[in-house]
Amino acid sequence: RGPDVGAEMVKAKMSFVKHKIFILSGKGGVGKSTVTSLLGRALAARFPEKNIGIVDIDICGPSMPRIMGLLNEQVHQSGSGWCPVYVEENLAVMSIGFLLSSPDDSVIWRGPKKNNMIRQFLSETDWGEDGLDFMLLDAPPGTSDEHLASTGYLKPTGNTSAIIVTTPPELALLDVRKEIDFCRKVGLNILGVVENMSPFVCPKCHVASDIFPKNTGGGEKMCKEMEVPYLGRLPLDPMLGKACDEGVSIIDKLPAINPIVENIILQLES
Ligand code: ADP
């Protein structure tokens, strides 16, 4: 067999991307895309001089266009590749959602076609002259074709890590442990676990309560057991769900995101 041209092209492009960070979860609906969008916006605000790119590799269920307020946007092909869609000057998004003619279109593809699309996203997106400081990859839940394809392409390019998003009930189950195991098997550096939807914040009285009492402190405990860093928790807050549905930024009203970002930076530097 000759050299893998696709892999070489990804490698060439990735020499302009400093940190590649997968956002993973065992199950759908735990807030993985929400966390990806918050991290993208928070990193862009925290480091105005750095460039952040979000790649939505959830080929069959892309949610970045909606969460980032980019419904009906399209990517354009230029001489130097696909131009991603910019949310801020230093925050750009690439998603298959930008290639569909309607947000309701479904993508029903088998493995090889999905892999091909991911390879193209990684090798043909034009992130600009300076490249990226942070590339956040929003993966589908679990460990499937998309994960194997993208980790297979990115891991050999260095500085590739993962953040695992979970909810308190999911902590009690095996899913998070499976994601940790997956990262270890494919050699991703685990930056840590974000516990989402914990605690619940009442929209009327603003009192925070743990609605899954048995799991109070479960995130930190599980991280200790599994020897992975605990990055912090994000409240279950209707204001946050609404902002994501409407595609607007909420980071100014969500102080809980700041310690998570600081912990991620600490982990990247360690
Ligand atoms: P996933 O990517 O894991 O499938 P999403 O990020 O799409 O999950 O979140 C699922 C739903 O839950 C979305 O409607 C989102 O707005 C909502 N959601 C996620 N996290 C929170 C939160 N902390 N507070 C309120 N709603 C949330």
Q: What ipTM was estimated for this complex?
A: 0.99
Express as a percent the part of the chain with pLDDT over 90: 65
In testing the pocket of ligand 1, which one of 23, 33, 34 has its CB within 8 Å of the most ligand atoms?
Answer: 34
pLDDT exceeds 70 at position 172: no
pLDDT beyond 90 at 165: yes
State residue 216's pLDDT score: 66
Residue 236 CA: nearest ligand 1 atom is 24
Low-confidence winner among 133-142, 145-154, 212-221, 223-232 (lowest mean pLDDT)? 212-221
Is the CB of residue 250 below 6 angstroms from any atom belonging to ligand 1?
no
Beta bridge partners of 75: none
Residue 30 CA to ligand 1 centre (angstroms): 6
Interval 52-64 mean pLDDT: 92
Helix (H) or strand (E) holding 198: strand 189-201
Q: Would the pLDDT of 105 be above 90?
A: no
pLDDT score for 213? 62
Q: In the prediction, which pLDDT does 4 show?
A: 80
For residue 173, pLDDT over 90 is answered with no
- Predicted TM-score (pTM) of the model is 0.94
What is the SS3 assignment for 127?
coil
| 228 has a pLDDT exceeding 90 | yes
Q: What is the pLDDT of residues 8-25, one digit of tens each?
A: 999 999 999 999 999 999
Q: Is the pLDDT of residue 203 over 90?
A: no
Q: Which residues are annotated as a binding site?
A: 26-33, 202, 205
Name the least confident of 76-80, 87-91, 107-111, 193-197.
107-111
Q: Enumerate the H helices of the chain as residue ranges.
A: 5-14, 32-46, 64-67, 111-124, 145-154, 168-171, 175-186, 218-226, 238-246, 257-269
Give the pLDDT score at 155.
87
Q: 104: pLDDT confidence band, cut at 50, 70 and 90? A: low
Contact 154, 9 (CB under 8 A): no
